[in-house]
Amino acid sequence: MILTQLLEKVEYEVVQGGTDIEISAIINDSRKVKPGCVFPCIRGVSFDGHRFAAEVARKGAAAIVAQEKVDVPENVTLVIVPDTRTAMARMACAWFGYPAEKLKMIGITGTKGKTTTTYMVKGILEAAGIRTGLIGTIETLIGDTKFASANTTPESLVLQEHLARMVKAGCEAVVMEVSSQALMMHRVEGITYDIGVFTNISADHVGPGEHSSFEDYMECKSRLFRMCRAGIFNGDDIHLGRVLEGHTCTVETFGLRPSNDLYAEKISLISRPGYLGTGFDVKGTMEFHAETDIPGKFSVYNALCAIAICRHFGVEEEQLKKALSEVKVRGRVEMVKVSDDFIFLIDYAHNAMALESILTTLREYHPARLVAVFGCGGNRARSRRYEMGEVSGRCADYTIITSDNPRYENPEAIMDDIETGIRRTNGKYIRITDRKEAIRAAIRGGKTGDVIVLAGKGHEDYQEICGKKYPMDERVLIAEILEEEKKGI
């Protein structure tokens, strides 16, 4: 592709060379540069692509896109732009033929609920015969093909490549998680969403390497609603007014209050041997009774959100009801069949806020005992360990402290910190370092009416130790344990 074509939707100034040159690729990793490519100099938290401009020029880059003048040979084109991340995203759109314009784009942002809602939407739309791609925290799904996710929202080059694959695979729609980081770093620049969605917002992702303040976090979330045609919002969220500031989209709301366009009433928690779920009546723009296999009132918000989205696709009531009752999300309050006597769940809760939310939700089902099995990741804030320990000691009847992803730390030291938190409460606990043995202890100790939640890793299928990821899927561990118990091993 000619560089001029790549830059057609970019604000730029050519300070050296020309743009009437053939470009072989867009590459932003100096280690992967190849002859004839264009190299956008990206600034990150711990690196600056501008420092590598001369190096990539020597390797054969035909053009450099930068935010400031850099020294490169005269035969290399130098283009200056206000922001290289924005420029890279817009060039990626052009390179892959503007695939988002050929799809119905649904973007979901919020602190919680994004992942579950995307799977609900995909399930409903595909049940209605609308081929739908998915991009999110767990994976990217294109037909039967899965791509592991490095970020909730991929970097712009990867994102546009996925969208192009979806067009080629015959997808009509895409539902994707849009993180605040992605909005801040312009990964979704150049995309106009048909529907933008706000699930909720709470104090999270504020700190070094993320957002400087909660205000900045909210501002980044709000950007989506200047990039979409229709906006669907959680009308019950206390920060809705701030998120709506500057919006250019139409507005409709969902929630539990009748003041919303779509709302729920008569919520019931469904519990039977080996099963937890939620039922509710949908009111407002649609009216019917719905049930979902995902426990907790928060799942009602997710389901309402999915219904509000899919209504725009003309999905019929029976298709909505059937898809909602069947949706499963890996590692998000995921029920795993272990016994008819008690419930066993896997969940991604890996901080105090998430752990308290899941334990409080499960407590509403009045289990005989609520048992939490969890650890904490190494090389992360130690305060998280104390907080999670204290939450579990306060909210669970029994805790099994175990190892998570110790990374470069001693698992026992991490568990010591969790124990310090639990000891601030009257909670009962034991320590079992080996995660498989901790799960075995939970299963062996399960009593009639218990609810056991295995928290922290969720969809992850590895354990990270000293810089290496070792295979470890908790579903596999559970199956092995059940087989071993059956054989009396």
Give the domain extent around 371: 334-487
| 197 & 271 share domain | yes
Q: Choose one of 84, 111, 132: the last residue of a domain.
A: 84
Question: Which of the 8 DSSP states describes residue 263?
Answer: E
Nearest residue to 192 via CA among 235, 230, 166? 230
| 355 & 426 share domain | yes
- Does the residue 413 lie in any domain? yes
| 241 & 287 share domain | yes
326, 312 in Cβ contact below 8 A?
Answer: no
CATH code of residue 359: 3.90.190.20
Nearest residue to 198 via CA among 161, 155, 239, 248? 239
Query: Which stretches within 337-378 are classed as H helix?
Result: 352-363
- Does the residue 93 lie in any domain? no
- Can you point out the beta strands (E) in 143-249? 145-148, 173-177, 193-198, 228-234
Number of folded domains in the chain? 3
Please give the Cα distance from 40 to 17 (Å, whole number): 16
| 273 & 365 share domain | no
| 303 & 169 share domain | yes
| 186 & 310 share domain | yes
Please give the Cα distance from 45 to 27 (Å, whole number): 19
| 221 & 260 share domain | yes
| 316 & 202 share domain | yes
Render each residue's pLDDT in the chain as its tens digit; 489 residues: 999 999 999 999 999 999 999 999 999 999 999 999 999 999 987 789 999 999 999 999 999 999 999 999 999 999 999 999 999 999 999 999 999 999 999 999 998 899 999 999 999 999 999 999 999 999 999 999 999 999 999 999 999 999 999 999 999 999 999 999 899 999 999 999 999 999 998 765 555 556 567 788 889 899 999 999 999 999 999 999 999 999 999 999 999 999 999 999 999 999 988 889 999 999 999 999 999 999 998 999 999 999 999 999 999 999 999 999 998 899 999 999 999 999 999 999 999 989 999 999 999 999 999 999 999 999 999 999 999 999 999 999 999 999 999 999 999 999 999 999 999 999 999 999 999 999 999 999 999 999 999 999 999 999 999 999 999 999 999 999 999 999 887
- Can you point out the beta strands (E) in 297-341? 334-335
Strand partners, 139: 148
278, 270 in Cβ contact below 8 A?
Answer: yes
H or E segment at 213? none
